[in-house]
Structure 1
Amino acid sequence: MHAALRGIVFGTVTLSLALTTAACGSADQADGKDSGKDKKGPLTIGLLLPENQTARYERFDKPLLEKKIKELAGKDTRILYSNAKQDANLQQQQAETMVTKKVDALIVDAVDAKSIASSVKKADDADIPVVAYDRLAEGPIKAYTSVDNPRVGKIQATSLLKELGDKAEDGKIVMMNGSVTDPNAKMYKEGAHSVLDGKVKVGKEYDTKEWKPENANGNMKGALSSLGKKNIVGVYSANDGMAGGIITALKGAGFTKDDMPPVTGQDAELNAVQRILSDEQFMSVYKPYVPETSAAAEFAVALAKGEKLDDIATSKTDSSSQKDIPTKIVTPLPLVKGDIKKYVGKSGFFTAKEICTSKFKKACDEAGIK
């Protein structure tokens, strides 16, 4: 691991989101109860993913989820899949189509955690259990799995501060947070601020609409105009897609890889891994997709069969509309240039052939990737 990141130790984070004083539901499985289902014949599992701009969903999440579901429930299991392409209204329609088709369980990675609640309620009314995947949706969710989201923000911020060193006192950083409709974005931001506040000046901070790289690019251009190129010493970017848009703006302002301020990221996307190898992007956060997708598949199949979740869940989570949701949380890992070699070729990461195209061959050779 890069020396700047050694010694990062975070305590266990207990997830508890936005408790309200209003009466809240409780997931049936939290008390070890089952739904009483006795499913005969092949299962049908619905899968709704939020967007396709972030490469991870089609490249890793979807195939890994499908593989694990069929491994658990049999090769004859039907998997109905839809991608919302960052459209919350479209995702609601897709969810309601799944209800109409009477799937046995539904896995949802919500575009908008609040607006999907009505669709989750319709599924619940139809006796279709819903698993919240990666983002905690509102409504009567029966199970939830994600990464340790506050830790993601802490990893990014700690990495950035260590890379800045004394430069943290010499200028300002720009914070490019994610979309306000994504509950994870709030946790990344809070985690980052818990590390950065009082250690570095934040010159500009943005909540980036729909996580879109072009919106991050526009925001970064505005920050450069407002703060001045010489005053920006680093950029906190909540994910890799936005980091790409930010780096394009920085290049347009005259920065080269030799004087590029460190830019963070998340998701370990292929383009980001290549940017890290070529010293354009400083770091990303690698989220092990196999344990996260496996947990979602295990929850969905167990719920579809009416089985208990006690052996799958490792904790419980509260949303503003639901208490004691059976939960499994996965630990994210920092990814800097020196870390890439150890992940190459592993499940949920890229092969050397994918990374080391002709443009990046020299950088791969220097990093010992073959």
Structure 2
Amino acid sequence: MNATTRRIVIGTAALSMAVSLAACGKAGGDDAGSGGDGKTIGLLLPENKTTRYETFDRPLIEAKVEQLCGDCKVKYSNAAQESDTQKKQFDALVTQGVKVIILDSVDYKATKSWVQQAEKKGVKVVAYDRLAEGPISAYVSYDNEKIGRLQGEALVKALGAKAVESSVVMINGSPTDPNAPFFKKGAHSVLDTQVKKVVYEQDIPDWSPDEANKKMGAAIDSLGKNGFQGVYSANDGMAGGIITALNKRGIKVPVGGQDSELAGLQRILKGDQAFTIYKQIKPEAETTAEIAVRLLKGKSLDGLTSTRVDSLSGEFKGIPARLYDAQIVTGENVVSTIIADQVYKAEEICTPEYKAACEAAGIK
């Protein structure tokens, strides 16, 4: 997702260690050399508009690989939301002799031929956060349909007693992200039965906040200022764009998101955003790193994958998987979730602009 997401049981010390490891190159990074020595793991992340990838996912994975395999390297690239770029990055890793690749795909449908060709050369691919097409060796993510249901439930709660009389706008995630249809399906399963009607709905390419802003403006033009009572946003980044469009027209309705991004949490405390979804990135990232190291060493994945899934096309079945849970975060539980888990420190959230809102929420 640009998404997704997500939020994170992440100790400050662990993050500091991860960042320092990445900075000094112990975990490989962009400048890591050839992977033909059998001790290099490729890490391909999809984009950098969503703050989670560079802030949390990358340093966490690199640090865990370093912990588990001191002489292993991580060769990292970010595709900046370009599928063609990611293919070149993937092919380069295979050419260099890398035998395990962690892949968070830009466009999951495009990956089938890549993964098939890699498999022929003995390369194992771990789908991270988004389920790619092809003969994947393992998949680590979240129960994404459940996350959509949580989003729907949180929006219904924010609408309160008037939910059954309320019309809702839905701004969904990127069509190339395989998680987006699950978020949408889960949200619809709640909203279709508990609100009056979804009156406007759009999918947003690349999870773009700017595009979400434009679509929200179009929805207001189409429906009128009083034509809807709430907005479902598939993630926090787009929620920011949506709320900007609403504020410009003087409209105040509940808007929800996902990923527990810092800006989203600040909007929640200020009262501009109703909720977000907190997904613990640390266990997702560290499980993925451990799977990659085991695959590199030819070891079993026993104990790391607790279920099996099929690809979205249905062509590739029984992929070993680990799916983590998530929870709703509002102003009432920021302290007991985000701050307690040291995702962000109070002082990071409570910048001068949000000091009064933090004090009102009991954050010190």
TM-score by length of 2: 0.87
Query: 2:38 touches 2:97 (CA, 8 Å); kept in 1?
Result: no
The correspondence for 2:191, drawn from 183, 193, 196, is 196
Distance in structure 1 (CA, Å) of the matches to 2:50 and 2:124? 27
Q: CA 1:310/1:137 → structure 2, altered by over 3 Å: closer, same or farther?
A: same
Q: 2:75 aligned with 1:80, yes or no?
A: yes
Paired position in structure 1 for 2:283: 291
Quickly say closer, same or farther: Cα 1:113–1:41, change in 2 above 3 A: closer
Q: Does 1:237 align with 2:229?
A: no
- Verify the 8 A CA contact 1:99 1:122 in the aligned structure 2: no
Q: Measure, in 2, the Cα distance between the counterparts of 1:336 and 1:168.
A: 18
Deviates more, 1:147-156 or 1:163-172: 163-172
The separation in 2 between residues aligned to 1:86 and 1:242, in whole angstroms, is 15
Q: What letter is aligned with 2:207?
A: W
Aligned-partner Cα distance in 2 for 1:234–1:157? 11
What corresponds to 1:13 in structure 2?
A: none
For 1:332, give the aligned amino acid: A
The amino acid of 2:128's aligned partner reads Y
How many residues align structurally?
Answer: 327
Paired position in structure 1 for 2:51:
55
Deviation at 1:122, TM superposition (A): 2.3
Q: 1:346 to 1:162 in 2, by over 3 A?
A: closer
Quote how far apart the aligned CAs of 1:230 are: 1.1
**Equivalent position amino acid for 1:49 in 2:** L
- Assess if the C-alpha contact under 8 Å between 1:344 and 1:350 holds in 2: yes
> Does the Cα contact within 8 Å between 1:44 and 1:77 map onto a contact in 2?
yes
Matched, 1:118 2:110: no
Q: How far is 1:283 from its partner?
A: 0.3
Identity %: 48
1:45–1:78 Cα contact (<8 Å) kept: yes
Partners of 1:140 and 1:77 in 2: CA distance: 24
Q: Distance in 2 between matches of 1:339 and 1:81?
A: 35
Question: Which residue number in structure 1 is paired with residue 67 of structure 2?
Answer: 71
Q: Please give the TM-score of this superposition, normalised by the length of structure 1.
A: 0.85
How far residue 169 of structure 1 moved from its aligned partner, in angstroms, is 3.6
Describe the shift of the 1:346–1:123 C-alpha distance in structure 2 as closer, same or farther (beyond 3 A).
Answer: farther
What is aligned with 1:140?
135
Where do residues 172-187 of structure 1 align in structure 2 (5 Å cutoff)? 172-187=167-182
2:39 aligns with one of 37, 40, 43: 43
User: Which residue type is aligned with residue 71 of structure 1?
Assistant: Q
Deviation at 1:171, TM superposition (A): 3.6
- Structure 1 CA distance, aligned partners of 2:244 and 2:263? 13
Aligned to 2:85: 90
Give the drift of 1:354.
1.3
2:201 counterpart of 1:205: yes
Instruction: Please state how far the C-alpha of 1:161 moved relative to its aligned partner.
Output: 0.8
Pick one of 321, 324, 328 that aligns with 2:318: 324
- Amino acid across the alignment from 2:98: V
Query: Is the 2:171–2:231 contact (alpha carbons within 8 Å) kept by the matching residues of 1?
Result: yes
Per-residue displacement from partner, 1:261-308 (whole Å, max 9, x unpaired)? 110100000100100010000000000011111111111111111111
Q: Of 246, 255, 266, which residue of structure 2 is paired with 1:274? A: 266
CA drift of 1:345 comes to: 4.4
Gaps of 5+ in 1: 1-39
Deviation at 1:344, TM superposition (A): 4.1
Tell me whether 98-107 or 185-194 shows the greater mean CA deviation: 98-107
Partner of 1:228: 224
Residue among 198, 210, 216 paired with 1:214: 210
For the pair 1:307 / 2:307, whether they are aligned, the reply is no
